[in-house]
Structure 1
Amino acid sequence: MYQNSHLEDFIEQLYASLSIRQPEQLNKYLIAERLNIGIYLSRNDSEAFYWDGRYYIFINRDLDSRQRWQDFGHELCHVLRHSGHQGRMPPLFRQLQEWQADNFMYHFCVPTFMLQKIHLPYDQFEAIRLIAETFNVEYDFAFKRLEMYQRKDVFQMKYALTNR
């Protein structure tokens, strides 16, 4: 049986608090509005920051819709789970935050609780295509997210079998 991580539980609870339960409800503007986060398209690289009592996420407008969704997930992690100005942090701490934001992005953009409700085809390429289309993410992103999900599932099955 699949056991959620703390991050997967956090994301599922976040979506529940926003009354979002289905992939077709995944919308960065709706989510930002419900979280009281300003969201804007920008000519610059995507970034998040806090100013005058409110969080803002700026998304690079040159990205396509899939890349914007993915960047939104990355930047949202900084808003929800990080504090401080990265320009004033030691490089290794900044690197840690970026790794955390990337990991969050994969789980936020393709939430485990939604992924588990989908009947994934046995054919790997078809499963990747289905994830990419269902969650509006790039194919490479869908491949990596599927790999993360399957790797964890296999690890948990092996652990359960060896610890009976």
Structure 2
Amino acid sequence: MSIQLSYLEEEVKKIYYKLNIETPEDIDLERIAAAFRIWLHYEQRESCMFQINGEYSVVLDARASPQEQWQDFVHELCHVLKHTGNQFHMNRMFRQLQEYQANSFMYHFCVPTFMLLKMQMPRLTSEAIKLIGDTFNVTYSFAAKRLEIFNRKQFSILWYKKLYQISKLNVRR
């Protein structure tokens, strides 16, 4: 099935192609951090991002699994790429918007749609979740949520195509 990528999905694809990353095996947290000149620090605290004199640093929780660190890094990467300002000094709703955007970016960047489309998904959901988790180095709960997002989009495309076909039939009558 041909699929039209969303703006976010296209944006993610462009970023990966600029970094010469085309397969899940090419994805590397440290390589991506270096490409965006982000300093990485591992500490026993919640992950966060900060900027000092135009230099970005991302602190990753040293207690977290490598999968959780990757997911946290990408969440913080979104803040680096798309957001400005200190979240502690902004309106609560604006901060919530930024967090929503960072979470959405995280799901699409950690498991890019253009790479998912090239994969042959198993019929069993549990096997598909395991495949996504293992292939993209994300937690299985993250993989389950990303698969749900992906499947929901696939279903809506099929639904709209069917609706379009029905409307064309009704116009002919």
Shorter-chain TM range is over 0.9
Deviation at 1:163, TM superposition (A): 2.1
* 2:133 match: 132
What amino acid is the match of 1:10?
E
* 1:45 match: 46
Normalised TM-score (structure 1): 0.97
* 2:107 match: 106
**Count of aligned pairs:** 164
What amino acid is the match of 1:54?
E
Instruction: Quote the Cα distance in structure 1 between the aligned partners of 2:40 and 2:6.
Output: 28
What amino acid is the match of 1:134?
T
Runs (5+) with no aligned partner, structure 2 = 166-173
* 2:34 match: 33
Give me the CA root mean square deviation. 0.9
Instruction: Quote the Cα distance in structure 2 between the aligned partners of 1:19 and 1:40.
Output: 25
* 2:18 match: 17
Q: After superposition, give the CA deviation of every residue in 1:107-133 in whole Å (9 maximum; x if it has no partner).
A: 010011111111110111111000000
Matched residues, percent identical? 44
* Alignment of 1:70 onto 2:75: no
Instruction: Quote the Cα distance in structure 1 between the aligned partners of 2:120 and 2:93.
Output: 40
Instruction: Quote the Cα distance in structure 2 between the aligned partners of 1:52 and 1:44.
Output: 23
Instruction: Quote the Cα distance in structure 2 between the aligned partners of 1:63 and 1:27.
Output: 17
* Alignment of 1:81 onto 2:79: no
Normalised TM-score (structure 2): 0.92
Instruction: Quote the Cα distance in structure 1 between the aligned partners of 2:85 and 2:15.
Output: 22
Runs (5+) with no aligned partner, structure 1 = none
* Alignment of 1:162 onto 2:163: yes
Flag the structure with more relative contact order, 1 or 2, with Cα contacts below 8 A and sequence separation at least 6. 1
Instruction: Quote the Cα distance in structure 2 between the aligned partners of 1:80 and 1:103.
Output: 14
Deviation at 1:54, TM superposition (A): 1.3
What amino acid is the match of 1:64?
S
- Secondary structure of the corresponding residue to residue 79 of structure 1: helix
**Structure 1 segments (4+ residues) deviating >3 Å:** none
What amino acid is the match of 1:142?
A
